[in-house]
Structure formats: C-alpha cells, structure tokens
Structure 1
Amino acid sequence: MTATYPILAALAAYLVGSLSFAVIVTRVMGLSDPRTYGSKNPGATNVLRSGSKAAAIITLVLDAVKGWLPVMLVVWFGKPYGLNGGTVALVGLAAFLGHLWPVFFRFKGGKGVATALGVLLGISVWLGLAAAATWVIIAFFFRYSSLASLAAAAFAPVVYLLVDGVVWYAEGTIAGAIIVMAMLLAWRHKENIERLIKGKESRLGSSKPAKDERAAAPEKPTAK
C-alpha cells in the first residue's frame, strides 16, 4: 500500500495543476478568454493584455500556488506515509505537467513559468527566490518576459546543485525534476525563442505587441 501513496499524490497534484486559472479568473471577472487573443497562451502575461492588472496578478499568484501547495503538502504530511524527496520531485513535476497539459481544458495549457516557480518555492524558499530574482534582473535589463523566464529556468537546476551542502542538501530525484521542468519550459517557449532571434519579440511595457501577437487582441465594446 505504501507504494500507492506517491502515485495518488502525483495524480492529485496533476489534477490541481490542471486548473487553468487564466481561464477561470477571466471568466469569473467577465473578461475575454486569454486563449482567443494575443499569444493565446493561458497565462498571467497574456491575461495582462486584457487590460486588467488585477486579473493578471490573481492568475500569477494562483498558478504559483498550485505548484507550491502539492509540494508543501508532501513536505508537511508525507513522512508518516513514507513520502520522501522522490515523492516531492514526482508531485512537483506532476503539478507542472498539469499546467502544461490540463485534463480539464482539453490538454491545452500554458507555458508553466508561474507554476514552476511555485514548485521551486515548495522545494526551497531560497531556491524559488533565487529563480524569481533572476527573472526580475533579466526582465529589468532586457525587457523581455520570455528571455527572463528562460534564464530563470536554466539557472534553477544550476543553483540547486551548486549550493548543495550549503543551503540545502540536493537530491538526485529533485534535481532531475527541476531539469525536466526547465527543458519543458524552454520547449514551450520555442516560438518566443524564434521571435527573440528575429528581433520580433514584444518587450515588457511595450504599447505595441510584436506583429506575430497583434491579431485577435480583445476588442473594447463600442457605444451604440
């Protein structure tokens, strides 16, 4: 029976990760579905294009929480059931995969940046803060959200292994999960990478999105 617990925990984490809060929040707030405009990505950055900063912030926080919570539940309550670092890695990865391929939304999810950050914060607050700081620094200097996300994803497994024995004791299974998340996150950003190379990626704070993302922006209602 003990071997069943990690599987059940991973399944529960995947279902939690499958809650696409970009879609849920915009529906509750009466906004356009983020899958119909901009990059069509159900994530906080695209929700911001709706013009609602509140919706974007709520989406960002909830997407991070759904990565953080399953990991923390294992950390808090898993020991009596024999759930260890291997289960933490499995659960964190499952929540991340749920965001990428949500069962409740026809397996069409987002890119996983906020959820990955939540998983990292669950593994270690310091690891999550280091990844978040990397994102902020790259975004501040280069003004590209996608580039900042890619840099933070690449940095996370490096710092996790580099600081082994100093801030935490690295575990192979957790390191493997972080590397897989980084690789999948990079793969989900392949179109952004192409636009970055071509110089067509939209910058943070830009009033005009890149040509590739201009179509299908949510229209403002006009007075009759």
Structure 2
Amino acid sequence: MSHIEKAEKAQPTVAANPPPAGYGYNQHPQYYRTLGDPGPLGLYGFASTTFILSMYNVQARGVATPNVVVGMALFVGGLAQFVAGMWEFATRNTFAATAFTMYGGFWMSFATIFIPGSGVAASYTDATEFNSAVGIYLWTWFIVTFLLFVASLRRNMGLIVLFFFLTITFALLGAGKFSTAHAVALDKAGGALGIVTALVAFYVGTAEMLSESALSWFRLPLGQIPKGRID
C-alpha cells in the first residue's frame, strides 16, 4: 500500500448530520458569557484617583507634593480605566470606550512625569519652563475633555455634570501652571472642583452598578435625556 493510500484511509470521515451550532462534536453544549458593564470599573478608577490628586491640590492636611498618587495613577486610574475602555469597545459603546481609554492614558502619562527614573521632570532646569510645559499638557486635556463634554450632552445629566466640572478643572489647573501670581489659588480652585468631579463620578459609577440587571435593592437616578430624532 502506498503512502498516499495510507494517508487517504487515515483521514477522518465527516458526519452526514453535523451537530447543531453551539455544540461540540462530543454533543456537550458550549456556553458563552456576555460581557458585564465595564462602566463602574472605569468610573471608580477615575473617581478615586481624581479624588486623591485633588485633595493634594487643595493641600489637605498640609500635603502639597503629589507623588503618592503615582501608584494610583498607574494602576487604578491608568491600567484599570484603560482596560475598562477596551471592554467598552467590545460592547460597542464608542463614547465610553474613548473616554475611559483616553483618561487611562492620561493618568499613566501624568504619573510618568513624577517618576524620578523617567527623567521627565529632571530634564527641566528652569521651574518656569517646566510649569509652562505642564500647563500646555493640561490645556490639551482641557480640549479633549470639552469635546467629550459636548458628546455627553445626549446621554444623561450625570455624565453632563461630570464632564462640565472636569472641563473647568483642567482649565483652572492649566491656568495655574501659566500664572506666577495666582498659581496656588488656581491650583486650589482646580483641586476643589476636582473633588466635586470625583464625587460626581463616584455617584455615576454607583448608579450604573445598581442597574436593573444587577437585581439591586434600589437604583440611583442619572437624569436620562430623551432621545429625539436627529435628521
């Protein structure tokens, strides 16, 4: 018997009646889990990190050096929020996917500035130049946040309020880096609004987690916007 004949006889035969879709050849059903809502994870990651940094910006308990926030910014505000953004893409929620992924990247890039080994802050010998560079960085995020605020206007009041306060927060913090006479006052004002923003994000995240599908005892209102037709 030739090798070709042996190979032909060794080939498995295909069943005349293939098993139905969703079943393996062993006839055991295959179950597929749908994705849970990644929104609360992203919102909690954003809220907790924003709250800590904003407390430092208002110099709560005399803390003015923000370096302790680096760990939170890398792994909670950064990594956790970035992953939530990737999962939002899988659920076809483009707005949340864009917001979470962008702010996850923001927190990781912001933390990098304060990591000594990164050399970012150490490369500036002039404090004024460093503040101006950080100011441009913050004003760029003001633009991003304002555009997300515009995109949130058709969603719910919780998100609208969140992005409204966050937009002003970035504007104040960016202006504080450009100003020498009012830097501390603007930083504290930005920190105060950042605390408000974080509390709103905590509320929105909790409201999304206490959903009807989660069989919660109660729900929190988000102020849904009526979806009218746009021609």
TM-score normalized by structure 2?
0.29
Which protein has the larger Cα radius of gyration, Structure 1 or Structure 2?
2
TM-score normalized by structure 1?
0.29
